[in-house]
Amino acid sequence: MGMPTHLSNAEIEEFGREMDAIRNEVMDSRGAADRAYILKIIRWQRSLAFGGRIVMFLSLLLLPASALPYAGWPQFIAVLGLGAAMLGIAKILENMEIGHNVMHAQWDWMRDPNIQSNTWEWDNVCPSDQWKHSHNVVHHTWTNVFGKDPDIGYGVLRVTPQQRWKPKYLIQPVTNFFLNIWFQWGVAVHDVEPDKLLSGEKSIASVKHLLRGIAQKAARQLLKDYVLWPALGAVITVPFSLALDVDAGHIALLAFLWIAGANAIANLMRNVWSNVIIFCGHFPTGVQHFTKQDVEGETRARWYVRQLLGSCNIGGGKLFHILSGNLSHQIEHHLFPDMPSNRYPEVAPRVKAMAARYRLPYNTGSLTRQFGTTTWTIWRLAFPGGRVHALSV
């Protein structure tokens, strides 16, 4: 769609100066309240993770002593499910409001050696250094620029009619489903750009170091979630089994499998939620895309305009914003990626008012609206054709 034609160069530059003023005002006012916020979120996240593990282990006390039928199955599954849900929420908080934002250097100003962008390793199979390159460096620099930003469809989806249709897109509703449930794996290989490997634009040799890093990180994650924690659960059941004079090996195996399954549910929760939030910030109706020619000689002010036009917000309450990593304020995040995320709700009304004053669209809507139009886009554009839908102010 390109840059808006109703604004003169002078107006665009003034828009940029006003955006800079908002950013500078907030960055200069960072202090104790912001520090308290992120430390509180980290405490809550770790408490939920620890509590979820404890509840999962306590559920093993209800584990049936023999095979089906067993009257206590509902109680056992309910308690185990509660623990899995707590762990899932903890993983969502760690990936979204903590890990994503810490690695954006939003909290580097605190000089806390434990909360630094260059040392934080998140609970995800994607190595943090690779994510910071594909996301911070590539995506945030070239947001929605064809041929520059691989986040446009992640190399596997057609999300705008401006992408040339190919037969491979016919299965993209199915592709999208698996990307949703396995999202952390999609994130892990994003910097590798598998589509370019398949097309021959990249060689295996050129990404061997990336694949090695993914394999090492994934091995640690799989070991933690699907071997060590389940093994600890199995060990916990041994005294219980001996006291009841039941087959300790049978109970230990059941415990191992159930804890591994609960961890898989927690990871699924995190994958689905993060996928929905991220997609709803980038692919709903009205989002705009750009060509390489559009960004030639791009000034900072024009970069601000492009971030505004290429991003979407999601309405919701305070808890929703926290669980989304404040990426429900995707517009503000793209405008100010290193601003502490807790300040986005504060600046959002000012950005929206500026957009209206400059007659620029500010794409915001409910989760239902943004997810609905995103899903429709993915399904519709699996087939040839389609129309570009502009968003009015």
In the predicted model, is pLDDT for residue 376 greater than 60?
yes
Taking only the tens place, the pLDDT of each residue in 136-190 is 999 999 999 999 999 999 989 999 999 999 999 999 999 999 999 999 999 999 9
Query: How large is the average pLDDT for residues 284-294?
Result: 94
Q: What pLDDT is recorded for position 388? A: 56
pLDDT computed for residue 66 by the predictor:
56
Least confident of 36-45, 75-84, 360-369: 75-84
Averaged confidence pLDDT in the chain? 93
pLDDT greater than 70 at residue 120 = yes
314 beta partners: 365
Q: Can you give the pLDDT at residue 393?
A: 41
Q: Which residues of 216-255 are buried (b: 16+ CB within 10 A; e: fewer)?
A: ebbeebeeebbeebbbebbebbeebbeeeebebeebbebb
Sign of the torsion formed by the C-alpha atoms of 133, 134, 137 and 138: positive
Euclidean distance between CA atoms 146 and 295, whole angstroms:
10
Mean pLDDT of the 89-106 span: 98
Residues 273 and 94 sit within 8 Å (Cβ to Cβ):
no
Conformation bin of residue 193: beta by default, left when phi > 0, alpha when psi is -120 to 50: left
Domains of the chain by residue range: 1-393
* pLDDT of 2: 64
What pLDDT is attached to residue 75?
83
Tens of pLDDT, residue by residue over 194-233, are 988 888 888 999 999 999 999 999 999 999 999 999 999 9
**Residue 230: per-residue pLDDT:** 97
Q: How far separated are the first and last CA of the chain, in Å rounded?
A: 16
Which pLDDT band holds residue 65 (cuts at 50, 70, 90)? low
69 pLDDT more than 80:
no
What's the burial of 140, exposed, middle or buried (CB within 10 Å: 0-12/13-18/19+)? middle
Distance, CA of 61 to CA of 255 (rounded, Å): 10
Q: Render pLDDT for 320-366 as a digit per residue (tens, 0 to 9).
A: 999 999 999 999 999 999 999 999 999 999 999 999 999 999 999 99
Res 331: pLDDT: 98
